[in-house]
Amino acid sequence: MPHPAVRLAAISEEPLSVAGVLECLEDPTAGGLVLFVGRVRDHDHGQGVTGLSYSAHPTALDRLREVCERVAEEHDVTGVAAVHRVGDLAIGDLAVVVATTAGHRGSSFEASRALIDTLKAEVPIWKHQRFTDGSDEWVGSP
């Protein structure tokens, strides 16, 4: 049975909505809400980036749900939400949005940090970066 605090776990080809994530976490008992938004930046390791693409393994959504469930179990939270974008993204586009709610800010900060760090480490989503010099790089692929 899913943990009741997990409100959203999704992988999307559509642009991400911070407002949508916040809306799904609406809770009058939550005194703290911590949100992290990952955006596509114009550089990486000293090289200019022109854009990137994210690809997800077929098991990625199940893995994302597992990560959300684990964070909900291990932290004193009332809400957990995570959504990652796939497909072609431009500089400035939102790539990932994660948020947690809790009775107090400390629990929410800890849970949100665990959520983004574990998502990046365990969910099989791979980044293909294109650089200004015409080269490219896969990040996180097996």
- pLDDT 10s digits, 108-130: 999 999 999 999 999 999 999 99
pLDDT per position as a tens digit, 1-34: 789 999 999 999 999 999 999 999 999 999 999 9
Nearest to 120 by CA among 63, 74, 79: 63
Number of structural domains found in the chain: 1
pLDDT band of 106, cuts 50, 70, 90: very high
Give the domain CATH number at 43: 3.90.1170.40
Dump the DSSP string for 76-93. Answer: --SEEEEEEE-EEE-TT-
Question: Structure pTM?
Answer: 0.94
User: Is it the case that residue 140 has pLDDT exceeding 80?
Assistant: no
Across the range 59-87, mean pLDDT stands at 98
- Residue 141 has a pLDDT of 73
pLDDT given at position 108:
97
In a domain, 1, yes or no: no
Q: d(Cα 54, Cα 70) in Å, to the nearest integer?
A: 24
Alpha carbon separation from 88 to 11, 61, 100, 128 (Å, rounded): 14, 18, 27, 9
Question: Would residue 74 count as lying in a domain?
Answer: yes
Q: The domain containing residue 107 runs over which residues?
A: 6-139
Q: Is the residue at 100 inside a domain?
A: yes
Element (H, E) at 120: helix 105-122
Mean pLDDT of all residues belonging to the chain: 96
**Is 95 inside a domain boundary?**
yes
Q: Is the pLDDT of residue 67 over 90?
A: yes
The CA–CA distances, whole Å, from 6 to 24, 36, 72, 73, 93 equal: 10, 16, 7, 10, 25
pLDDT in tens, 35-53: 999 999 999 989 999 999 9
- Residues 54/85, Cβ–Cβ less than 8 Å: yes
Q: How many CB atoms lie within 10 A of CB 1?
A: 3
